[in-house]
Amino acid sequence: MCRLIAITSEDPLSPMTAIRALDVMKEGHDGSGVGLFLSDLGGPFQDLNGTPILSGIFTNAGMKRLDSYMMEVGFLTKYKISIKVPKTPPQGVPKRDMYLIRAYEYPEAWEGFREAEIQHRLMSIRLQLRRIGEEHEDMIVFSFWPDVIMIKEIGDPMAVAEYLQLDRPELQAGVMMAQGRQNTNYAINLYACHPFFIQGVATMTNGENTAFVPIREYLMSRGFPGYVGYQSDSEVFTHILHFMLTHLGLGIEAYKHVITPLQDEDLDHHPSGLFLKHLKHTCRRLIIDGPNCVIGSLPDRTLFLVQDRKKLRPGVIGGKPGLYAISSEMCGLDVAIPDRDKNADFQPMYLDTAYIRPDRQEVIICRQTEDLPLQH
């Protein structure tokens, strides 16, 4: 079972905070991968004014291919972190030519584009790079989005972090999510490594989703080009959330109602029963199954934690104003925020959605049986 940690902090922190938390949860991951999502970036990335950042792993040939492609679409490098790694990687970590974190200037031709158009184009470029990379096996692209950095690699999280020198001062983030992977059903593939990302939405999961195939079929048939991949059954959680936020215009409080709707008898007495019944019927193919704990980050940097209907996976949320964390194990939370009020730690049950707004002042709990707030 994978181990998860998500931290949201007023003062940007080094990703090592998350890695150290993963390290104490070590018995739960097997070195088959570590994934890191950073947002609300500090350091030099803070002043980039919403320019998109490309994160990925490249061979030397892939770098050349990337450069010529980006030139072609009119992107110019604005800032980059060059990660120079030691010649010999730690045991279990493959040898790579280049880990890339690079911010680009938008092409001039994009000026005047609407927000939605820009977002769509950014995603299309990421998908195109991914396709080219898969074809030539020389590029792995995790994200291409403003204020987002993603790093994924096979190996023990601490060893990888030291190898990549993630404690460097340029890397600071107010929101971070990290997963130590326990590979289960599928071959070790970096695209199967959590967190998953699409247009500002990121989630990671510990568990299995036995309803994966019908959900994948449903998402892929939405006609939205970003709903591809699915090397992991957990990637659908990200896309379901994205679908709900962007296509349906609903808030995080509705997420549980989509993935694990209430039973009919409960809906009959629910203050938002009519709406929720329609939501349940129309989003029926997005109902998940199997034990899961989903931790995610929204485009506005809200962090959240939900459990599936069966509550068979651990997940705890706690912290103090200005600094909160969500962890799959209590010991991870202890390392991330040792000086919190532990009595206020909360382990959501099958009806709860726990989230921390970007102001980081409190943990908000909403129960599925409560009235659903007005839709966005």
Partner 1 sequence: MSSDGRLAPSTLSIKDLPWQIHWDKERCTLCGRCTAVCPVNAIGIGVHRQRLVETTLGLTEPPSSVYGVYYSIQQRTDPAYACVGCAMCTLVCPNDCIIPLRSDEVDKLTYHINRGGQPRRRGGRRNVPGGVLDQIKFIRISMLTDPALDAGRHEFELRTLLGRILPPELNLELLRDEGWIPPVREIYPLMIGAMSFGALSPNMWEGLQMGVAYLNEELGMPVRMCTGEGGCPPRLLRSRFLKYVILQIASGYFGWDEIIRAIPEMKEDPCAVEIKYGQGAKPGDGGLLMWYKVSELIAAIRGVPQGVSLPSPPTHQTKYSIEESVAKMIQSMYMAWSFRVPVYPKISGTTTALAVLNNLTRNPYAAALAIDGEDGGTGAAYNVSMNHMGHPIASNIRDCYLNLVKLGKQNEIPLFAGGGVGKSGNLAANAAALIMLGARGVQIGRYIMQAAAGCLGSESDRCNICNIGICPKGITSQDPRLDRRLDPEQVAERVVDVFLSFDIELKKILAPLGRSTSLPIGMSDAIGINDQAAAERLEIKYVV
Contact predicate 125/61, CB 8 Å: no
Nearer to partner 1, 104 or 227 (CB): 227
* Spacing of C-alpha 122 from chain mean position: 17
Euclidean distance between CA atoms 14 and 168, whole angstroms:
8
Place of tokens 């990302």: 197
Shortest Å, Cβ 18 to partner 1: 24
- Sign for the CA dihedral angle at 158, 160, 162, 167 comes to negative
Q: Can you read off the two tokens belonging to residue 233?
A: 């059954």
Plot region of 62 (φ>0 → left; ψ -120 to 50 → alpha; else → beta): alpha
Contact predicate 293/313, CB 8 Å: yes
- Sign for the CA dihedral angle at 155, 158, 159, 160 comes to positive
Shortest Å, Cβ 257 to partner 1: 12
Euclidean distance between CA atoms 294 and 305, whole angstroms:
6
Nearer to partner 1, 161 or 288 (CB): 288
Nearer to partner 1, 9 or 292 (CB): 292
Euclidean distance between CA atoms 366 and 352, whole angstroms:
6
Nearer to partner 1, 112 or 223 (CB): 223
Nearer to partner 1, 135 or 217 (CB): 217
Nearer to partner 1, 102 or 256 (CB): 256
Q: Beta strand 201-207 with 292-297: parallel, antiparallel or unpaired? A: antiparallel
Shortest Å, Cβ 309 to partner 1: 5
Nearer to partner 1, 98 or 287 (CB): 287
Contact predicate 371/272, CB 8 Å: yes
Nearer to partner 1, 136 or 247 (CB): 247
Euclidean distance between CA atoms 301 and 355, whole angstroms:
10
Longest dimension (CA), the chain: 64
Shortest Å, Cβ 376 to partner 1: 12
- Is the N-terminal amide bond of 214 cis, ω within 30° of 0? no
Shortest Å, Cβ 272 to partner 1: 11
Nearer to partner 1, 12 or 28 (CB): 28
Shortest Å, Cβ 2 to partner 1: 11
Residues in a beta bridge with 9:
323
* Residues making contact with partner 1 (CB under 8 A): 1, 184-185, 207-208, 210-214, 217-218, 221-223, 247-248, 260, 263-264, 274-275, 278-279, 281-285, 287-291, 308-310, 312, 375
Shortest Å, Cβ 348 to partner 1: 17
Tell me which residue of 258, 276, 252 sits closest to 266, measured CA to CA: 276
Euclidean distance between CA atoms 252 and 346, whole angstroms:
18
Shortest Å, Cβ 364 to partner 1: 24
Shortest Å, Cβ 119 to partner 1: 18
Contact predicate 332/25, CB 8 Å: yes
